[in-house]
Amino acid sequence: MVETSVEATDAGESALAVPRTIALVGLMGAGKSCIGRLLAAALDLPFVDADKEIEAAAGCSVEDIFAAHGEAAFRDGERRVIARLLTSQPKMVLATGGGAFMDPETRQLIHAHATSVWLRADVDLLLRRTARRNNRPLLKRGDPREILGRLIEERYPVYAEADVAVDSVDGPPEMTLARVIEGLRRFYDTAVPAARVRSAVQ
């Protein structure tokens, strides 16, 4: 992993051409949907939220799927929806659910068909952001801080397999957007044949 430190810049001046879909990964509250929309606009690409696609396919909300059928059923539907998006749609900016990248099959598909970007955030920032909404099924199973801390321990080592890692900033989303664009530029500039070079932007 190439560690890089950059200052936030005007994202509008930093747009770049990308060769394939960009898949955003990370925990709930990391900013995947917000940053994804901004990134899609900056790159002139469509934005797709995997959770919204799952809800459209199931005819009900993610929360209802969890309540009625359980997490395993949701993950199965998530896997199939993301596979369809990655293999049958033109390039896009795709915001994935927090658990999507944890599934080995989905992770392999993302590696094969997209450039993955991990939006990394600490527990305090995630806690503040997720407290704004009451529709997070995983956070209704106990103390949110304890749950988020456990998810960080479980998932961050896997998220670290993403091509690009960017710290999500507690500030205007344009700051994080600029870091994502810079991370993508550095990843594409330093990529070498037969080896995936990961770029981390702090």
* pLDDT tens column, 138-158: 666 667 888 899 999 999 999
| Cα distance between residue 77 and residue 61, in whole Å | 12
Give the pLDDT of residue 74: 85
Which residue in the block uniquely carries the two structure tokens 């539907």? 77
Domain boundaries, the chain: 2-201
The reported pTM is 0.84
pLDDT band with cut points at 50, 70 and 90 for residue 2: very low
CATH architecture of 2-201: 3-Layer(aba) Sandwich (3.40)
Chain-centre distance for alpha carbon 114: 12
| Cα distance between residue 101 and residue 111, in whole Å | 10
Q: Could you report the per-residue pLDDT of 34-78, keeping only the tens digit for each?
A: 999 999 999 999 999 998 998 888 888 877 888 788 878 888 889
- What value does the mean pLDDT take over residues 113-126? 94
Burial per residue of 95-129, b for 16 or more beta-carbon CB atoms within 10 angstroms, e otherwise: bbbbbbbbbeebbebbbebbbbbbbbbebebbbeb
Do the beta carbons of residue 6 and residue 168 sit within 8 Å? no
Do the beta carbons of residue 172 and residue 48 sit within 8 Å? no
